[in-house]
Structure formats: C-alpha cells, structure tokens
Amino acid sequence: MHCPALPEGFDFTDPDVYQSRVPLPEFARLRRTAPVWWNAQPHGIAGFDDDGYWVVTRHQDVKEVSTKPEVFSANLNTSIIRFNQGISRDQIEVQKLIMLNMDPPEHTRVRQIVQRGFTPRAIRALEDALRRRAEQIVEEARHRGSGDFVTDIACELPLQAIAELIGIPQEDRARIFDWSNKMVAYDDPELAITEEVGANAAVELISYAMNLAAARKGCPSKDAKDIVSRLVAAEHEGNLGSDEFGFFVLLLAVAGNETTRNAITHGMHAFLTHPDQWELYKRERPGTAAEEIVRWATPVVSFQRTATQDTELGGARIKKGQRVGIFYSSANHDPSVFDHPELFDITRDPNPHLGFGGGGPHFCLGKSLAVLEIDLIFNAIADAVPGISLAGDPRRLRSAWLNGVKELRVHYR
C-alpha cells in the first residue's frame, strides 16, 4: 500500500533521514491516513528473506504489539529494525542470547533473575554515589567555561551508573567505557567505528564480565550488595551462568548508555530552546520533568517484532512471519493521547509516554535508574551552571533506530 502522502521509497529506518531529523510530520500523516503502513524494502536486506516491514504509528497499537509476545515475537528476527547494512543469520542467532531478543518462557526466567539487581532499594542505594558523580561532572564542565555538552556531561553519568551498579572497580572503568562507546554508532561513518571494531569490543566486554562473574562465584563479596553477587552467586532460586551474565552486561552497556545520554542531551537542548521551561525548572524542580524529557527525546525511535501467526492490527492484515516496527517516537506524539504533543511541558501529568516501551514483558528494566540519572544531572546543572547557553546547533548521529546527538556546543558560564 503506497501512502500518497509520502515520497516514493521513503523508509522509516533510513539512517540518512535520522541524521537530519526524526520524521515526525511523516508519522503524523500515517497516524491519520494509514496507521499501520507497509514500508516496502524492495531490494531486501542481507540476512532477511522479506521485502519490508509494517510501521505501527498509533499509541494504542504500539501498546498492543508490545503486550502480546505470543503474537509478536522479539526472538524470530530480534528487536532492532535494520536498514541496508544487513546482518548474517549467524549474527542474528548470536543476538538471540540477549534478553531483549528473547520470548517467554526463556525471557521470563532471565528477567526474574536480573530484576533482583533493579529493585527500588537497589537503585536508591546508588543515589548518593551518583549525586556526587553528577555534581563532580558538572563542576568539571563549569571550569572548562565552554565545550561539548555530550562528551563533557551527557556521556559520563550513564557510564558511571552502570559501573556502580555492576560494581566495576575504578581502575577498570576506562576500558569498559571504551568498549561500550565502540559498540554503538556503527551506522555513522564519521565515528569510524567499523563493524569489526564494534564486534571485538563486544567480545572483550563479554569476557571481562564473564571473568568478573566467575571470580565472584568463587568468592561472593561480603555484603553481596553488588549486582554480580546477587545475580550469579546469591542463594536465590535460579542464577545466571557466567556466560549469561556476560551477555547481560553487554545489553546493559548498549541499552543503558546511549539512551540515557541522548535523553540528557535532548533534554538540555529542549530547555535551552524553551527558556520558560528552564526558568520553571530552576525555580520549582518539578518531579514530572524527567518523564517529559524522555517523551520529548524518545531516544529509542523504534524496535521490531515478528508475527507468529496471521493477525489484524489497526485495520491492517499482518501475515505470519512479517516484521512489525513499533515506533515509540510516533506514539509519543499521538494527539489522541497527549494534549499538544508538540509542546515541551515539564509539568505534563499524566504522561503515559512509551519512551521506555509499550508496557509488555520487555519494558525497560533500567527505567528507575534512568529517571534518577536525569533528575540528578539536571539538578546539578541548575545548581552549578544555571546560565548555561547554546553555542551551536546539535550535530545528529546517523542511525537507523536511535535519536542521537553526537555534539552540542554550549557555554557553561
């Protein structure tokens, strides 16, 4: 079905589109005219034997797909929609070892174990350490006078948060950060990260984490507070094997870093282009701000599922085996759910955005940690560099599924 409102050949996972913008006007047209739309990829993608995928644009339909794992599988073709760089079937098989790409009951077993590391108590236990980190990061930026907000501020706290959570020793953190950074952004030629460099970094990170798990299994830390002890060595029902732990750390490094980094960067840019909201934030620090920042940023534009049976969704007939893209960016601008979705309003309440997923079994495990990080960093910025101002336009990341910014020049004073 060609949508007359869209240019012929338009693809909602074309990294060139996202290098300049998120296609919000195109999403709006689809929500009005063809809310579940067939995005043809007539030339196919290496590793796939299909010729396109469905684009799901409405809030209610994104939720429906997310909450029906028996109909919409995260496992068959994994969760990331690919554009033209392709992927081999072998690579797809390896990626199925990550929980984001598992279906129940396997997913349920792993999720129940890893959830122990993300209880409200576990996250609260990190708060003081992360607050100090946030203040230190902003203080260092202030001394520089001006610089790139992404590297100076947005990158650092998410990396530190994951390192704290896992209990990675200080002296190993630089290596972990280097591997994590190399694993993302393979679509952007400017970053010169070849697939091989990314894959090697992933292998190194996994083996580092496996060694950490193996060591802790033999000698659990005394208070067993760190996540490694809790997941692999604690006396609970069911534990992760060292290899499973390795893949879990890999997922944390991808899922918890770039996402939070971009939420913080887009949030800062939104504040600096909506000065009334920045003034309001500095004055009142509303507890609703972090959620609106995530809605506004929607760092993960889309994920995909694959239909396990013929089914119907939003008026479209989906065939067994077809891929279905759930577009969180579109859902988060659906006017049937949000009053004036085009407004950045840090007091928005309620705010049922789908930036952390559509509420199904894969709903973001790190949501509380992400919200805490966003709160801590903007409080630190508002306290230490309230006069922060823009020194240039954001430079966007070339990516098929991340709403990313790689550089944002600012003056801190």
Closest separation between CB of residue 235 and ligand HEM, Å? 24
Could you tell me the smallest distance in angstroms from the CB atom of residue 296 to ligand HEM?
Answer: 11
- The nearer residue to ligand HEM, 341 or 358, going by C-beta atoms, is 358
* 34 vs 126, beta carbon nearer ligand HEM: 126
Residue entry with tokens 């012929």:
8
> Which DSSP symbol is given to 81?
-
Q: To the nearest whole angstrom, how small is the minimum distance from the Cβ of residue 269 to ligand HEM?
A: 15
Helix, strand and coil content of the chain, in percent to the nearest 5, comes to 50, 10, 40
**Minimum CB separation from ligand HEM for residue 360, in Å?**
5
Closer residue to ligand HEM in complex, CB, 208/363: 363
* Residue 250 C-beta: closest distance to ligand HEM, Å: 10
Rounded Cα distance between 85 and 186, Å, is: 10
Residues that bind ligand HEM (CB under 6 A): 66, 99-100, 111, 162, 251-252, 255-256, 259-260, 263, 294, 299-300, 303, 328, 355-358, 360, 362-366, 369-370
Q: How far is the CB of 196 from ligand HEM (least distance, A)?
A: 25
Please give the Cα distance from 368 to 373 (Å, whole number). 9
CA atoms of 152 and 265, how far apart (whole Å): 11
For 216, the token pair is: 């802790």
Which one, 29 or 111, has the nearer CB to ligand HEM? Answer: 111
| CA distance between the termini of the chain | 53
Nearer to ligand HEM, 360 or 394 (CB): 360
- Minimal CB distance to ligand HEM: which residue? 366
Q: Quick one: 6 or 102, whose CB is closer to ligand HEM?
A: 102
Chain CA centroid to CA 268, Å: 17
Q: Name the residue nearer to ligand HEM (CB basis): 30 or 253.
A: 253
Rounded to 5 degrees, what are φ and ψ at 95? -70, -15
Q: 70 vs 247, 251, 331, 354, 356, CA distance in Å?
A: 24, 23, 22, 20, 20
- Closer residue to ligand HEM, CB minimum distance, 6 or 297: 297
Residue-wise DSSP of 220-246: --TT--SHHIIIIISSSSS---HHHHH
| Sheet (strand 36-40) strand order | 36-40, 52-56, 323-327, 302-307, 72-73
- Nearest to residue 307, comparing CAs of 56, 1, 139? 56
